[in-house]
Structure 1
């Protein structure tokens, strides 16, 4: 299948303001890109790309005073198959983990393992290690958190999501990530496009999505505690320890976000 992915954001700035953007299909999907979802700006300003510590492609600009439009529109080839499920994927002993996964065992800005370790072990110590344990974590988080955009808060952490029992997709991901790390399973945050293909209508307005990957059986596996079912057409943008590492936009001065649109649609034919 082919998927049209893109976004449009309008900002107002009172003065020239630096911005960092983590947008665009992840390099791991490069062979699937039919039309690149390259970042464009109106008015046109110089865009400087760079790779961050996690290998994500990022862009830097200085937004001029006034209104600026950030946009992209691309097309990606996808298998059309739901997220893979690997029940036999085993959990590694910490001493056997590859060195590059160890950072994803540690606490981070939104995933306070120190505050959640006792809770995690009380909840999941009797679950079978490996895939079944991560699945149990996702099931708990899916049932524990009530979804609603009115519950979104940029400062909300995994512990606060656990305590409040409400949030948005990034809160589901943060809590599941923190629980996995508490149980010695490396877990990393993912942001990207996730359309509603294969789900019943009516479909909600488009948005970027947050999910996570856990390291089991020698590789990374996708998990989505918000939806808790394998989904079709997931298009990764970036990965990091948590949402603090992969903000869609980061501004370094006062501004107003005037409008925000995201689309992820199957292309006919």
Structure 2
């Protein structure tokens, strides 16, 4: 299936402000790319790129002194046209056998307070089967426990606060599940990107960037999505990290309010008959600046 992904972000500018951006599809999709993404900047500005410690492609620029800055990006990928299938290997490795690269994803982080949730995690999941069944039990719990509500979203909400308040958006679902997995000695890392609505019945919610997580099982990273808690068709990774602090779409070192944004993730017209959609939403603008 040929899948189009992209966005348009518009920021208000009142002074030259350095910005750090994480707005590209992840290099792990390189073999699926038909038309590569290219970050477009209006007005044209000098733009540099680098890869961070997690392998994410990052961009740097300085905003204009006044007016608006528009960032846009579109790509075409050849992705599987069927729902995700869970890998067969799902055993849970003892901590002493984990690869070195996994150890950082067992530790607490800015939004995932394993110390505050450890006792709760072992009380709820200590008797569940090891491996994928245990991670799925965590996802099932988070999916039931948290009520999705954009109106109550806030960029500072942590996993412990999500557990205590029982409300949030996709990043909060992911943070809580990540923290509970880490508390159970299962490496887990936060992911952000696009998810299409291919195969789902309408009505559709406004398109947005999404968050999920990966757990180390069966000797590989495996995808879990506590917000949707069901296989999806057309999931495209943009960035990975310990939590949302590592994969923010934009970090501005000065006043640059996001005034408008739109996201698209749909089958390419002429190659698929399945309906997709792209809906701009200024109501969600505050969620896109420092979250994923």
Which residue of structure 2 aligns with residue 133 of structure 1? Answer: 134
Matches of 2:255 and 2:23 in 1, distance apart? 21
What is the aligned residue count?
Answer: 269
1:145 and 1:166 in contact (8 A); partners too: yes
Structure 1: runs of 5 or more not aligned: none
TM-score between both structures, scaled by the size of structure 2: 0.91
Partner of 2:289: none
* Corresponding position of 1:10: 10
Residue 92 of structure 1 aligns to a residue whose secondary structure is: coil
The answer to whether the 8 Å contact 1:2/1:77 transfers is yes
Residue by residue over 1:60-109, the C-alpha shift from the partner in whole angstroms, topping out at 9 and shown as x without a partner, is: 00011221100011111101122221365100000000000000000000
Task: Describe how 1:52-201 pairs up with structure 2 within 5 A.
Answer: 52-65=52-65, 66-86=67-87, 88-201=89-202
Partner residue in 1 for 2:285: none
8 A contact 1:83–1:222 mirrored in 2: no
Q: Which residue of structure 2 aligns with residue 21 of structure 1? A: 21
Residues in 1 aligned to 2:244 and 2:46: alpha-carbon distance in whole angstroms = 26
List alignment gaps of at least 5 residues for structure 2: 272-292
SS state at 2:257 partner: strand
Q: In 1, are the aligned partners of 2:89 and 2:217 still within 8 Å (CA)?
A: no
SS at match of 1:153: coil
Distance (Å, rounded) in 2 between the aligned partners of 1:195 and 1:205? 11
| Deviation of 1:160 (Å) | 0.3
- Residue 244 of structure 1 is matched in structure 2 by 245
Aligned equivalents of 2:72 and 2:89: distance in 1?
Answer: 41
Give the whole-Å Cα distance in 2 for the aligned partners of 1:19 and 1:83: 35
Equivalent-residue separation in structure 1 for 2:181 and 2:88 (angstroms) = 16
Structure 1 runs (4+) deviating above 4 angstroms are: none
2:16, 2:64 within 8 Å by CA — same for their partners in 1?
A: yes
